Copies of this chain bind each other. A is one copy, B any other.
Amino acid sequence: MDFASLIGFLSGLALIISAIFLGGSGDVFVNVPGMMIVVGGTIAATLLTVRYKDVTTAFRAAWIVFTVDDSDPQEMIDNMLELSKISHRNGLLALANVESNSNFLKRACTMISDAASEKMVEKTLQTEIDSLYARHFKIQDVFKKMATYAPAFGMLGTLIGLIQMLSALDDPSSIGPAMAVALLTTFYGSLLSTMIFLPIAGKLKARTLMEITNLEIIREGSLSILSNDHYANVYERLSSYIPEAQRKPLIIGSQASAENIS
């Protein structure tokens, strides 16, 4: 559970709600038809824009906002160094037995142990990275589109309310409450966009970029292992992916005992 995200979400909600109750009763801010226009309209336009399957995938992916990101480039570099040691000691064929949580890493190992050419390894792994990026982009795009549609339907709702109010302008004293109701949909639309859709789209993008850094480390490491680079060279090539301050010095004499890499 990512507590920073949870605290962010709850405190943002609390701020808005307390601002509403500080100014009087919260009843004024509940308007079911208005909510239906904004939420329903946003979903309707999104269904028209993207495939149904992508919408459901996107909503499942949204949960990622509250999960801790446990990907660690440093750990991935250590893994690749272990693999480099293994390949130097036991030959490239030994990589066939490597166990890992990452299917991408397992796939790279299988290709290396199958004696695939460098060009083949590079192209296949790069296609997989590009393809993953394209799929994740499609999911982020669902939320970016919703962040655009929500305020647009909010404005449509406000326009409907304003036109109804203005066309029946008998009693000047009724203007205020009617305009308040009309503005509610704009409020709903902006709130959904700012507090929900934009942050989710941003977080999904950040996660994708981190995942791709990890995959690039695997790709570079695999190519380095395949071309039989020295252990220190593999370290040199891969450590460029993390900031100087976080780099661990290379300990040449360490034991590559565990072949089971997390």
Which residues of A are in contact with B by a Cβ distance under 8 Å? Answer: 2, 4-5, 7-9, 11-12, 15-16, 18-20, 22-24, 28-29, 33, 36-37, 40-41, 43-52, 54-55, 65, 69, 103, 111, 116, 120, 123-125, 127-128, 131-132, 134-135, 138, 145, 148-149, 152-153, 155-157, 159-169, 173, 175-177, 179-181, 183-184, 186-187, 190-191, 193-195, 198-200, 202-203, 206, 209, 213, 220, 233, 236-237, 240-244
Pick from B11, B41, B50, B243: contact of A40, CB under 8 Å: B11
- Whether B149 contacts A194 by the Cβ 8 Å rule is yes
Q: Which residue of B lies closest to A130 (CB)?
A: B240
A10 to chain B: closest CB distance in Å?
Answer: 8
CB neighbours of A29 from chain B (8 A): 160, 163
- Whether A198 contacts B49 by the Cβ 8 Å rule is yes
List 7 interface pairs A-B (beta carbons < 8 Å), by A numbering.
A15-B36, A41-B195, A45-B199, A49-B206, A54-B206, A131-B240, A169-B176
CB neighbours of A177 from chain B (8 A): 166-167, 169
A-B pairs, 5 with minimum CB distance: A169-B176, A8-B47, A12-B44, A4-B52, A48-B199
Q: In the bound complex, how far is the Cα of B26 from the Cα of A79, in angstroms?
A: 60
A179 to chain B: closest CB distance in Å?
Answer: 5
Q: In the bound complex, how far is the Cα of B152 from the Cα of A42, in angstroms?
A: 19
Q: Which residue of B lies closest to A52 (CB)?
A: B4
- Whether A164 contacts B203 by the Cβ 8 Å rule is no
- Whether B203 contacts A16 by the Cβ 8 Å rule is no
Q: In the bound complex, how far is the Cα of B18 from the Cα of A65, in angstroms?
A: 35
- Whether A15 contacts B28 by the Cβ 8 Å rule is no
- Whether B124 contacts A8 by the Cβ 8 Å rule is no
CB neighbours of A176 from chain B (8 A): 165-169
Asked, given contacts A16-B156, A167-B176, whether A134 binds B8 with beta carbons under 8 Å apart, the answer is no
Q: In the bound complex, how far is the Cα of B53 from the Cα of A206, in angstroms?
A: 12
Q: Which residue of B lies closest to A50 (CB)?
A: B206
A164 to chain B: closest CB distance in Å?
Answer: 4
Q: In the bound complex, how far is the Cα of B52 from the Cα of A5, in angstroms?
A: 8
Asked, given contacts A8-B46, A128-B240, A177-B166, whether A41 binds B20 with beta carbons under 8 Å apart, the answer is no
CB neighbours of A163 from chain B (8 A): 28-29, 180, 183-184, 187
CB neighbours of A166 from chain B (8 A): 176-177, 179-180, 183
CB neighbours of A9 from chain B (8 A): 44, 48
